[in-house]
Structure 1
Amino acid sequence: MDANRGLHGTVRTKDGWAVRHAIVTVTDLTGDQVAREQTGEDGVLAAGPLPAGTYTVIVTAPGFQPAASTLIVSSAGIADIGKIVLARAGDVELPPAGTWTIDPAHSIIGAVAQHLGLTSVRGRFASFEGRIEVAEPVEESTVTARIEAASIDTGNKTRDDHLRSADFMTADVHPVITYESDGLTGAGPDRWTVHGRLTLNGITHPVDLDMTYLGSGTDPWGGVRAAFRATAELRRADFGIRFNQILEAGIALVGESLKVELEIQAVRGEELPQA
């Protein structure tokens, strides 16, 4: 049998990664469906022959915009759709698959808490490290991070010492805060929800991050960087942090929840550049 005969082609993302299990629908000029096939794990389509003629090919996949093209099948039975490129929904491309190392010098891990029910107190952690493993499919990507609890900085030494104490993070007993994710799901045209577990004060609790991918590009040191912004809402009680003080007016000194704010730059590869 001639290997060129039959329906062939590949489906890829804009950056060249395979789109697994994309649905390829072929219709004739009257709009009737004549074939419906699926790409393999490698994004390759290989199916049976079609009668000679002109057809319309529509390619769809979850999380991607559909694409259509014209297919002409020769009398020899060759039906090659070539390479079909699918754009992600919202036309937001994610960084290439592989390891990305978080750059602490150009990243911020911060938190905001309510004080007296009136104003916000902002703090940040000065010492942390992490890694992002971008997978294909992207939904299987993972994030891991380690944060030094004692590196909290709110701009006030007395307050920082209190936050390190047993009333809050118990940093001398539980010096490291960790985050480990196990996948993500789309949450909009340019947003993703990262599903993971945060360990704080010795207690592990599920925490989802609302993440936006901001883009990627080269840096002055010959590397490639990707940027992300993410937020999460934490309840202090979920991590055994119940200290509070109620004032005479019934107002809590510290709010029961806090907002985590992340601004992350990650460098492609397992090592940071020597800058």
Structure 2
Amino acid sequence: MLSLLVCKKLSSKELSCKELICKTLTSKELTWISAQQSEPLVAIEPLLQALTNAVFLLTLANNKKLIFKRLNLSARDIGDRKREFKVDKLATVAGLTPKAIACCRRYKLQEYFSGKELSCLPINKELINLLALQLKKIHQLPALHAQPQSLSLTLKQLKKRIKSAIDEAHFSVILKRAIVLDQGSAKNVLCHGDLSLHNLLINNRQQVMILDWEYATLACPAYDLASCMCINSLDSLQQESLIAEYHHLHQTNISISLSALRKECSLYLSVFSYLNALWEKCFLVNEISQAEDKTSGA
């Protein structure tokens, strides 16, 4: 399941709702953080980019900074979190992500990387090429720990969580397409599953770090390409550029032709676009509703 809304700019209403939900840390959270490292905590800054997890920047007495996440228990189970931590370790060894210090079902603590989000940059040919390069690096990691893709299961789970009515005929069409992809696609590549420009940081030395591996999946390259295109709202020309550059980078060791890769990406993109709409209905609407209920009851 993809946190496809992570790249969406929050409205003032959504921001106020998030502030109500994750304004500060609880005593239990502070105790857990203290158990993971010995330095006193001197500052806490909420970061409001993510909609499914509450994220905080911590500053320690020695001026070292860490990232603390309050994980959404309804979005991922304990098995998912254990697999995420293992994938984090693979990516850390490869120099692709900041080191995860500790993780449990409810919380995650990791090192802080000082850089700016790629979302701050214009989406041009240079940025598209950089995206393709990061996808190549991800797909070169060992295909371990993550669950095989199951888009059909994700669709069914999201549908159960949605309170409002949906177009059943449209859902059925997308579900059948997802089942075909689940059954027929190779699952021999470790995919990030959430490669938003918000999850890519670059520093002054042009070093890139990839964040948020919680939706890592064993799938085929088209899975990650399509999710990346969807999550970053790439237009048709940008999509074509990303596919072509990715295929060019892999031309010596990719078995699929460029035309076949385009076709496969198109099928995945149709499913991810629909998943994005369901995700918005499921999580964003529910969070705003819950926050408004708390406000009215105060």
Give the structure, 1 or 2, with the largest relative contact order (CA under 8 Å, sep 6 or more): 2
Higher helix share: 2
Whether the TM-score (by the shorter chain) exceeds 0.5 is: no
**TM-score, normalization: structure 2?**
0.26
Give 1 or 2: higher strand fraction: 1
